[in-house]
Chain A
């Protein structure tokens, strides 16, 4: 066999249990997901972790099968060690430890946020972009400087995806809510003023959600969706613009689950045009949480010798993006 290595990555920070396999020459060979969908309301951490443990074996077998590999072909096991929901992270970590012991191969802890950035860089071949990472749990504007991804802006309360998901539930829209909000917004025509909250480089969405929810009864739903999305995306676009003007990065990379939004893509593309920056968005199948991004980032870390003994393989639900050294960017 050639010297190509295969890394298996497990993702389990929130609603998705994912298993992906990446090769050391930069391909994602398989990327299988099983998503926990709550019967009503938002994500329940214990139920989500039960879903993950019941679907883990199937997901891993499917990922190996799709890649045409056996466990014996795998050189390392990477797992999401945080940030995320404790019970969900613990399930993924337990499975990863078991696989690592079974196979007798290294275990690599991966920061979930960094994985979203690295898979975006891999897919778009963009070396040093300003990153706009938007999902159900995170809203972060970040760029690389001096050995780490630095945070230039973030949410001061809830994440963009959380705001939109919660509003969709208030409207009674079934999961996933954001695409439905977008099509309703496309039919809207009148702009309704809603709280537009930019604080320095940061944004805040909790007031916007409260206000929009309060107005559901008195306003046309389509106009309200239009206004909510315009305000929510306008805020991200503004802080992204501030960051790109400040950092003078040559390009912008949009990543995370909300990256699939066409309306948000248009707004950020317009920002890029004004600042002569290239605009890239992560491919839809790599936008949401997935194991492939963990596998690929695990490979980058493994190459730098970053592994952890099983007995010290802690998870960290509060693991901040800018705490992590990224020597592979050096």
Chain B
């Protein structure tokens, strides 16, 4: 397409800004990966493209702000959607005061609860995949999402958010995650306990985590 400028070259996809029917839009193209078997690569890219387009629309119906999908090209693994001209949460956090972090992550938790209650898990919850714009929190990158109400994928969502905070925002991760859980639990209701417990067990499962202060002689 004419008049496309590269916005970002991510790990999985390239993002271009363009005008579609006169509107500022983003084209997301999932590019071929030379390290993957060609058959596997074609399957992964096309499945994630249609999955993402579907979930972006379904999430918005649940009241979670997402970009509007204009066009899906399965063959080229491309989605054209509305452009939200604002940096991701990841870039804003270093400038945020503590009260703002508490407030923002409480709302992130409420939004994730809306998704979960509506039968959607995001599958890639990080601060790079949330955009704050016009007083709303937009959720993007639903390629790894699922339509499910199972405990396990819901727990994975919480686990991923916690780990994203710990690895990229370790100075504020404790307070941010606590606020996230507060918003999530409040909005999710009684089932939130099970999800939070599952997220804890995922963190411990088969891997090496301090459980209490266990010490062996």
Contacts and interface: CB of A to CB of B under 8 A. Distances in A.
A193 B43 CA distance: 9
Contact of B123 (A157, A199, A314): A199
A321 B39 CA distance: 36
B40 A230 contact: yes
B209 A320 contact: yes
A224 B170 CA distance: 42
Interface in A149-183: 150-152, 154-159
B190 interface: no
B77 to A, nearest CB: 15
B11 A246 contact: yes
A320 B11 CA distance: 27
A242 interface: yes
A241 B43 CA distance: 19
B160 interface: yes
Interface in B27-72: 33-37, 39-40, 43-44
Contacts, number: 132
Given A82-B208, A156-B205, A319-B210, A199 B166 contact: no
For B35, B160, B202, B211, the residue with the greatest tally of chain A CB atoms inside 10 Å of its CB is: B35
The interface residues of chain A, by DSSP majority, are classed as mixed
B10 A245 contact: yes
Contacts of A90: 216-217
Contacts of A242: 11-12
A155 B43 contact: no
B209 A318 contact: yes
Interface string B144-179: 100000000100100110011011101100000000
| Best-buried of A199, A234, A238, A318 by chain B (most CB within 10 Å) | A199
Nearest to A314: B215
Interface stretch (B16-24, B93-101, B108-116, B124-132): B124-132
Given A200-B156, A202-B160, A274-B34, A150 B216 contact: no
Interface residues of A, number: 55
B214 interface: yes
B37 A230 contact: yes
Contacts of B206: 155, 157-159
B128 to A, nearest CB: 7
Interface residues of B, number: 42
A83 interface: yes
Contacts of A196: 40, 43-44
B32 to A, nearest CB: 10
A201 B163 contact: yes
A200 B11 contact: no
Interface stretch (A34-42, A101-109, A264-272): A264-272
Contacts of B204: 318
Interface string A140-155: 0000011010111011
B75 interface: no
Nearest to A150: B167
B123 A191 contact: no
Contacts of A148: 170
Contacts of B44: 196
A152 B10 CA distance: 16
Given A156-B156, A316-B215, 9 more contacts: A150-B166, A152-B167, A200-B164, A201-B126, A201-B163, A246-B128, A270-B33, A320-B207, A321-B208
25 contacts: A89-B216, A90-B217, A150-B167, A152-B163, A155-B206, A155-B207, A156-B156, A156-B205, A199-B123, A199-B160, A201-B164, A230-B40, A234-B40, A238-B33, A241-B33, A242-B11, A267-B36, A270-B33, A314-B215, A314-B216, A315-B217, A316-B215, A317-B214, A319-B208, A320-B210
The 3 lowest CB-CB distance pairs between A and B, nearest first, are: A83-B208, A245-B11, A200-B160
